Amino acid sequence: ETGVTQTPRHLVMGMTNKKSLKCEQHLGHNAMYWYKQSAKKPLELMFVYNFKEQTENNSVPSRFSPECPNSSHLFLHLHTLQPEDSALYLCASSQDGGSGTGELFFGEGSRLTVL
């Protein structure tokens, strides 16, 4: 139990579907992150939220839409994805206090397959 919970753990969707990934952290942290890990590739930072405000969008296509309603929850809304978007999507959180820290706590990830 890492304190960061991701659901669902596995998701299969068609290219025309709309689905969402959910992340919840129970650590009282202020910053939350989405990373993407494709097969045989390094983790790629997608989005960063600090105190519910988006501070980083790493040139992510608009078919990925993040939402951070509060400091404990982070969503990734998925719409008209492509097969190459199949990957492990990892959520992380950190205790920030307004400055970035490199100590991130990761969830177990959501394995997404796009057919």
Partner 1 sequence: DAKTTQPPSMDCAEGRAANLPCNHSTISGNEYVYWYRQIHSQGPQYIIHGLKNNETNEMASLIITEDRKSSTLILPHATLRDTAVYYCIAFIVNDYKLSFGAGTTVTVRA
Task: Assess contact for 45 and 32: CB atoms under 8 A.
Answer: no
Collapsing DSSP to helix, strand or coil, 85 comes out as helix
Instruction: Please identify, using beta-carbon distances, which residue of 83 and 98 lies nearer to partner 1.
Output: 98
Report, in Å, the least distance between residue 18 CB and partner 1: 25
Amino acid at 65: S
CA atoms of 77 and 96, how far apart (whole Å) = 25
Instruction: Please identify, using beta-carbon distances, which residue of 5 and 72 lies nearer to partner 1.
Output: 5
DSSP assignment string, 88-109:
EEEEEEE--TTS--S--EE---
CA atoms of 40 and 32, how far apart (whole Å) = 24
Instruction: Please identify, using beta-carbon distances, which residue of 15 and 58 lies nearer to partner 1.
Output: 58
Instruction: Please identify, using beta-carbon distances, which residue of 2 and 65 lies nearer to partner 1.
Output: 2
Which position has the token pair 């952290």? 25
Report, in Å, the least distance between residue 16 CB and partner 1: 28
Report, in Å, the least distance between residue 46 CB and partner 1: 11
Q: Which residues bind partner 1 (CB under 8 A)?
A: 2, 4, 31, 33, 35, 42-43, 45, 48, 50, 55-56, 58, 88, 90, 92, 99-109
